[in-house]
Each structure stands twice: as C-alpha cells, then as structure tokens.
Structure 1
Amino acid sequence: MRELPNGWAETTLGKVTLPFETTDPTRRPDETFQYIDIGSIDNQTQTITQPKSILGRDAPSRARRVVKKDDVLFSTVRTYLKNIAVVPESLDSQLTSTGIAVLRPSEALDGRYLFNWVKSDEFISTMSKAQDGTLYPAVTDKDVSGGRIPLPPLHEQKRIVAKVDGLTARTARARADLDRIPTLIARYKQSLLALAFSGELTAGWRKTKALNDFETVKLHSLCLSVTDGDHQAPPRSDSGIPFITISAMNTGRIDLSKATRAVPRSYFDEIKESRRPAIGDVLFSVTGSIGIPALVETDLPFVFQRHIAIMKPNTERVSGRFLSYLLASPQIREQVDAIATGTAQLTVPLGGLRQFDFPCPTLEEQAEIVRLITSAFNWVDRMAADHAAAADLLPKLDAAILAKAFRGELVPQDPSDEPASALLERVQVERNATSRNPRGRRLAGVSEVIEIQLPPIQIHVSVGPVTIIETRGRQAMTKSRQDDDVMGKPYLASLLKEGHSASAQDLFKAADLPVADFYKQLAWEIANKHIRDDDEKLEAL
C-alpha cells in the first residue's frame, strides 16, 4: 500500500461510485436515443464527439447502460488507448455500451477527480495488466470497480482538480500552438519556392553578376527523357530489387525501406534505361497523390510502375536538385491542377507534363538558388524537429502533473478538512441502511406515494417499497444533500422537531430536497438514530 498524506485514504472505485441503471431500448422501438460507443469517444481530447443517433428498434444488443450528466465513461477494451470521457449535460439519460464502464461518483468523490484518476498512467497501467484476451484485450466491470484510488478529503479533491485543470490548460494551449507549426512551415517553404522561381529571391545577386532574367522553356527541353514506370505488374520475388509506390516518396524523399515487395533482378535488367532511376534523376507522382517530386540520391536499384514519372535532366541545362525544387513550387502546382484528369483518381498525362512551362536561369544562378533554398529548408526542418520533440514531451508533462497530484504534492493539505475516512464511513453507513431495506421490503414511514409538482413529465422512481412520482412542471428544488446544513447533519430530524408533520410525504415537501437526496438523507438519519421509524410515523430523537 502506498504511503498517503494525512487525511487521505485508499479504497476501491466500487466503494466510492454509485450503481447505474440499465434499460432495453428495443421496448421503445420508435424512440430516438443517443448512443455512446467506443468510437464516439475521442481519446486525444477525451471527450464524446460522435454519439450515434439510433431508434430503439435498431439499438445494438450492447446499448443497455443509461448514463447521467457527469458520469465518467471508461472503455474496458484496450484500456491503454484511454477511451475515457465525462458525460455532458446534452447526453444526460442517454445510452452507452456494455463495453464501457459507467463510473458515477458518490458524495465522497469529486467527478473531475475521478476522471483525472482513471486516465492517469498509474490506473491505466493497473487495468492494462488485468486485461484478458489477445485479439480483443479487455477488462471486466469487476476489474474496474476493484481498481484502487487514493482518496483525499473532498475539499482537497476540489483543490487538486482546480490546480490540475489550470496546469493542463496551459499544456493544451502549448499543444495547439505546436500543432500549427507544421502548417506554418509548409507555407513558409511554398512562399520561398514561389520567390525563388519568380526570380525575386536572387534578383540582387543576378544584378551583381550582370545576368539576364529567367528564360521560360518547356520541361522536355531540359531533360534527356520524361517517361513513367512499367505499365505491367512486375513479377513477385521473395528477394531481389525493391519495388516502391508513391507512399515511399510522399514526404519528398525516397525511402526504400517502404518498398512494398521485391522483383527479380532479371526483370530489372530488362527495363529500359530511361525507366531505371539513377542519382540526380527526379521522380514525380502522376496518379492518385499527384504532384510530389523526389530527387534520386541513392545508387541502389529500385523499380516502380506508371503511377510515378521519371525525369532524367540534361545536366548541361539543369541540375536535378534545381528541377526537384522547381517541381515542388506553387507555379508548377498550378499547372498540375490545370491538366489533371479523372475524378476518383486524378492523373497527370505525360504529354501535358512534358509541356510544363519552366523558368530556367543559368546553371550558375540555379546553384545559387539551390544553395539558398537548401539552407533555409535545413533551418526550418531543424525548427520543426525541435517543435516535434517539444510536442512529444507534453503528454509526459500532463502525466507528471497527475502523478504529483495523486501523491498529494500538488496542493497544500488543510488540517480542517474532513478526513477521507469519515467520508468513506458515511457512504458505508448509507449503503448499509439501504441494504437493510432491499427491494420488496417495506421501509416504515415511507410507504406512501409522494407526488411533487415540478415540467409535464411524470417520472416513477421505485426505491424498495417506495414509489415516488415526480410531475415536473413548476419549481425546482432549492436544496441539495451537499449543502452544509444537510450533509452529515440531522437535517430532517430538525424539521420534525420544528413541528412539521411526521408523514414522509409532508416531510419530503418541507425538506425541499430532490427525491434521491431525500431518500438517502432519511435512510442515513434512521441508521444514525436521529429519526425513529415506528411504521406509522417518523419521530425525531
């Protein structure tokens, strides 16, 4: 057992959460329900983003659990994915799957504290170790309810939650800022390429060299050949020459480790020279994900099909690196989009590619442009790597915040807080009182039907022998069991002493408590001998 701060206690989730309801929506076939399955939860933001709207008749067999506002939902399948969320008010009384544990906090537990605990690395690690199954690893509801939780005093829980929320809000803002970096870098690169191939980037340099402005030529005039890969599917081989697709070059660099398979050496030897890549050649995607250039920088042999074009530059007129940068520029992208054909799968015809208009400076200026672009790209790529590393640290920072919170090191303890042990005792007393009056056994003094005028919907709540009908319509209750003069106090007994009627119905109206709160408070006060129930009336002691 862990060493706990003063006033804390360690218990299980089952002892500090309340039971939830189940229902069969197929019995209400025409009613529309919002259904929360695992796919409805975004495990990055840990919120419910995509609940499904279903009719009762179409409800899957797993759609049985009724959720309430502020319930914490914990997916019991692949717990390491952290499909965890809090039920918002908009989904109150809707349905979730039997593959999701519904954790409803009791009065001893702050809901946000519970949410933070079950998403902590410590709890997730415990649940992941308890998982059973290989293809469908999962834990049971019993595993979840048996999970341990360090329980601070209730007021300290709230202080912890406020501190955690404040700190994680900062990391969320940092994450949002870092997430924008890749987009900003991509825009910067495109702006730099546009300047380079409009002539503006080297305008001053060109004047010092007394060079003419760019000449515009057709692509085919700069290359020894412009063709594409084989149009026939190559034979397969267990080993041999790597065969790549666009996915191996979609970052702008060729990665042979992403080769999908191999072809025999004999096949490669029979390919035309114009289709064999060599250092300095430029590949260009022309089908599907069109318009991606990549410079060949390896002398290792590899092959591809017609989805990729290959250009062999005439090095007396253009360098391969200059050509690859130019093919990535906005000026070329406009021409790609203008000639692309097809709907389901776009294609850049080779004939159109060969006719692209290319700005062509001298080889000397090409080298200067390549130098400037490469230097700038290297700088922003280093910056992107630094920001990616920072983004990777943010989840670790959030985890460290939670770990510190659950060790009692995040906020100061207050000796005046009611100890967690007292909270647990009170919850246990209430449960014992409830268990002594199981369903079907009369709770003396609370046997009549209580009717409250509140909107025009009648809700029948059965608690043991008690049936409570709420007719929602007029005013809402103004008190709560969390109020200081109710929680842990003989509140109902004091009303009886003031002369209020000893019938449960009249006492309920005088108490001004919600139905569930009234019943819990009455059971607690009877169990703690503040009220005597003699079958005919209630009497304050």
Structure 2
Amino acid sequence: MDTKKLRQKILDLAIRGKLVPQDPNDEPASVLLERIKEEKERLIKEGKIKKSKRTASSDKYHYGNVPFEVPDNWVWTTLGEISNYGDSINVQVDRIKDNDWILELEDIEKDSANINQFLKKSERSISGVRHQFYTGEILYSKLRTYLNKVLVAPKEGYCTTELMSFNTYGVMSNKFVCHVLRSPYFLDYTLRCGYGVKMPRLSTADACKGMIPLPPLGEQQRIVAKIERWFSLIEQIEQVKNDLQTAIKQAKSKILDLAIHGKLVPQNPNDEPASKLLKRINPKAKITSDNEHYPYGWQYTILGEIFTHNTGKALNSSNKEGIMKSYLTTSNVYWDKFDFTVLKQMPYKENELAKCTVTKGDLLVCEGGDIGRSAIWNYDYDICIQNHIHKLRAKIDLCVAFYYYVLLYLKENNLIGGKGIGLLGLSSNALHKINVPLPPLAEQHRIVQKIEELFSILDNIQESLKV
C-alpha cells in the first residue's frame, strides 16, 4: 500500500467536497466569505492591519473559470482574500530571548509536517531575521513547496523567513486551509508558478493569487475531523509496515546466524568432511578436531587459506598505453549486485591483465566505504577492477555464494572493520586473516539453497509492502 498516494487521494477528495456529505443546514460559504471581508474591513479601519495590495478578488471565481467543480454551497476564493499571507512580523535575532522556540525548515518532516525537534535560541547558532508566529497560525514553506511542509503552529515562536506565518482572521478553520495547501491540486499550482531551478520558491504574489475552494465552516470542521481520522489509520498502517520491515531484517539476520553456525540445515554423515577439503587445498593445513562453535565435520580456517586474493590496478591518468579495458570501481559494487550505469575504461598492459581481470565466479570485496560489501561476478564475460576492490578466487571447488553470506553476516555483526586514519579500509592482510567456517562442500550448497529460499519469501513480503 502506497500510503503517500493514499493521503494525497484523501486530500483531493476533501477539497472537492467528496470526503464528507454536505449538510443543507450549513450556512453557505458565500456568507462565510462576506463575514471574512467584514472582519478584514473592521481590522483595517481600527488600524490593526493594513490594506494589502496583494489581495485578489474572488468574484470572478464564483462562476466558471475554476480549476474544478465544487458543491453548490461552496465558493471559490483566493488565499490572499481569506488570509493575511505576506504580512509576517520580522524580528532581529538579537531581540529574541534565549528560551524562545526557533523553528527551522530542517526541523519539519516532509509530507507529514511533523516537528522533529524543538530547539531554543540558546541551542542554535543563528543570526539575521526571523518571522514571529503565534499558536494556531499557519506555517507554510514557500521554499521547495513539493516537500509539503505546512502545519498549524502548536505554540508561539520564531521561524526562518522561508516559512510564511499567517492567519485567517479567526473566522474559518486554519487546519482546513493547511489541508488545501498540502493537496495535490495546490501543490501542482505552486510547481507551475514557482521560480528558481535548484531551490524553487513560491512568490508572495503568486501565493496570494492561489485559488482556494471554500466550504461552509461546519463542513470544514467535518472534513478536518475525517482527514485526521483517516490519517491516524494510515499512520497505524505505516507503523505496522515499519514493524514488519524490522521483523524481516531481524529474520534475515537470524537466518544468517543459523547458517554460519551449522544450524540452518541438518548435517549429512555421508558428506565428505571439511578436513579432507582443507587438506586438498593445503596438505600442511592445521586440522581442528574439536570445533567448539561448529558442528562435527566442519573446520575453522581463514579466508586467505581457501581463496587467492589480490586487488586491481591503481588509477593513474598518466597511463596511456596498453589495451583499453572496462573496469569496475567501488561505486559499481553493491551487496549482491553491480551497477553498470557509469563504467570507465583504462589501458592495461599484458602483464597486468591476469591480476586485474575478473572471471565468472570470482567474489569481489570492497576495501573502503561500506567496508566489506561484496558481490559475485556471475557474468559470462570478463572485466577488470581497480585497486580498491579485492578479487577472491577459490583455490579449489567451493560454494562461493556461501562465503558471500559469511561476509554479509560478519558485516552485519560488525566483525569486519578497517584500519586507518580518516577513511578506513580493509587491507589485503586483514582480509587474508578473517576467520571463517569451512563446512563440507555438499553442506555449503544446501545452506545457500536454504538461505536463498527463505530470503526469497521474505523479499516477496517486503516487496508487497510497497504496493
């Protein structure tokens, strides 16, 4: 279930008068609009507000020339006509008290408009000017409006000037106006008239010209209650989805733990013991008869004992002679997959190709970034690697996929690290000495088959959560 689209659909139905039924006993919105005009005129006359040049008349929107049809007892108006948008109070930061709340854009979560943190002036390093706002006023982000950072202020404070604070003269529901401003319809309007490429903004003039569908006050309140009820249910669904995602991650981790310790599939006494496999690799290898952490028939060894490994060629712009070959960088390698979007080329000399060429079945391990991230090269063509990628090639017949999962397990349990100052890296020496289990070959294949079977089931569940 795409809960974001579901929220957008609910808002779209709400502003079109299709979320709750109309009540013929409601006072028509046209009367409410007149009351707003009267309140504005009274405040202007008393000198409490100034007459705004930005206000656009809604008369021409009552009939025809409207974005979409609304119920008969609704009217079309503009944001400038029903609010004091653009009349924010500017306050110099040095005049704000240390204990006053300072709201910045990064404190507001996109789409949900939940406030992630409440910080006082004393907890921020700020200068310049802020907008003063009061409890119950609407806060609207004119910067990157597609992030939908629109909310009703839960308490008074001061905010970045990228947030516009305004009110609706106490005659209508500010929560309803918030929902209109967050609706797909109004968002589309702001995207069409916003200015700026990288950081698009909505001008005050265009915001005030934005057309608003206005229901009777009673219906506004019913719409808000219905939206809040639906959104609460959606939040519960999202929480369940998040819990399920966490459970899937934990299940995969447990599967790997069982697999690496010989508890995922039963042992077969007819399997050739891992000791013989290890002896074929190295006749002088130390054979452990008592494996404390592994089943009978398994061995304990190091990665360098069962794999040859080396890194590729260092990138050097001065190298201009040789055979041009495509090569992988660490940016091409992810866990269990490769990204070929950007594939670079570099000249290689004949004596470098054997070391740098990857063939089908090789296990590639990155030394930096997400240290230890790995993928098996399962393609029928060869490719080269740069020096920040380790190429592991099995010395004899091994199930390489089993060791991919070993590395994944070690990574998830913080057992693969890196050494260095600043950017850490997994050196060849450290990679060589990584302790790994060695099950019988047949059991390696059974373990991988069971892991992939269980992971496939969990992946299907995870994919269904996106629908």
TM-score using structure 2 length = 0.72
Judged with a 3 Å threshold, the aligned counterparts in structure 2 of structure 1 residues 357 and 37 are, in CA distance, closer, same or farther, namely closer
The SS at the match of 1:342 is coil
In structure 2, the partner of 1:76 is 142
The higher radius of gyration belongs to: 1
Counterparts of 2:350 and 2:395, CA distance in 1: 23
1:82 alignment partner AA: N
- State the shift of 1:138 in Å: 1.9
Q: Does 1:320 align with 2:400?
A: yes
Asked if the contact 2:102/2:121 (under 8 Å) is kept, the reply is yes
Q: Does 1:222 align with 2:306?
A: yes
In structure 2, the partner of 1:10 is 76
- State the shift of 1:78 in Å: 2.3
The runs of at least 4 aligned residues of structure 1 exceeding 6 Å deviation read none
Q: Does 1:263 align with 2:341?
A: no
Counterparts of 1:173 and 1:235, CA distance in 2: 59
Counterparts of 1:149 and 1:29, CA distance in 2: 34
Q: Does 1:97 align with 2:160?
A: yes
In structure 2, the partner of 1:251 is 335
Q: Does 1:38 align with 2:119?
A: no
Judged with a 3 Å threshold, the aligned counterparts in structure 2 of structure 1 residues 187 and 86 are, in CA distance, closer, same or farther, namely same
In structure 2, the partner of 1:280 is 361
Judged with a 3 Å threshold, the aligned counterparts in structure 2 of structure 1 residues 286 and 181 are, in CA distance, closer, same or farther, namely farther
Select 1:374's aligned residue among 445, 452, 456: 452
Q: Does 1:193 align with 2:256?
A: yes
The SS at the match of 2:348 is helix
Counterparts of 2:202 and 2:406, CA distance in 1: 55
Judged with a 3 Å threshold, the aligned counterparts in structure 2 of structure 1 residues 193 and 97 are, in CA distance, closer, same or farther, namely closer
In structure 1, the partner of 2:37 is none
The SS at the match of 2:437 is strand
Asked if the contact 1:228/1:275 (under 8 Å) is kept, the reply is yes
TM-score using structure 1 length = 0.62
Counterparts of 2:254 and 2:386, CA distance in 1: 32
2:362 alignment partner AA: D
- State the shift of 1:15 in Å: 2.1
Asked if the contact 2:362/2:391 (under 8 Å) is kept, the reply is yes
Asked if the contact 2:364/2:391 (under 8 Å) is kept, the reply is yes
Judged with a 3 Å threshold, the aligned counterparts in structure 2 of structure 1 residues 294 and 268 are, in CA distance, closer, same or farther, namely farther
In structure 1, the partner of 2:203 is 140
Select 1:109's aligned residue among 172, 178, 181: 172
The SS at the match of 1:256 is coil
Counterparts of 2:319 and 2:304, CA distance in 1: 33
Judged with a 3 Å threshold, the aligned counterparts in structure 2 of structure 1 residues 83 and 139 are, in CA distance, closer, same or farther, namely same
Counterparts of 2:446 and 2:412, CA distance in 1: 20
Counterparts of 1:75 and 1:127, CA distance in 2: 11
- State the shift of 1:335 in Å: 4.3
Asked if the contact 2:97/2:121 (under 8 Å) is kept, the reply is no
Higher relative contact order, chain-length normalized (CA < 8 Å, sep 6+): 2
Asked if the contact 1:281/1:295 (under 8 Å) is kept, the reply is yes
The correspondence of residues 288-299 of structure 1 with structure 2, limited to 5 A, is 288-299=369-380
In structure 1, the partner of 2:290 is none
Judged with a 3 Å threshold, the aligned counterparts in structure 2 of structure 1 residues 332 and 85 are, in CA distance, closer, same or farther, namely closer
Select 1:123's aligned residue among 167, 173, 186: 186
**% of aligned pairs identical?**
22
Counterparts of 2:319 and 2:241, CA distance in 1: 43
The SS at the match of 1:102 is strand
Asked if the contact 1:229/1:306 (under 8 Å) is kept, the reply is yes
Residue by residue, what CA displacement relative to the aligned partner does 1:104-151 show, whole Å, maximum 9, x if unpaired? 133332121111110000011111111123344222112112211111
In structure 2, the partner of 1:536 is none
Counterparts of 2:317 and 2:253, CA distance in 1: 36
- State the shift of 1:321 in Å: 1.7
- State the shift of 1:272 in Å: 4.3
1:267 alignment partner AA: Y
- State the shift of 1:164 in Å: 0.6
The correspondence of residues 325-404 of structure 1 with structure 2, limited to 5 A, is 325-330=405-410, 333=413, 335-337=415-417, 340-387=418-465, 389-390=466-467
- State the shift of 1:332 in Å: 9.1
Asked if the contact 1:291/1:333 (under 8 Å) is kept, the reply is no
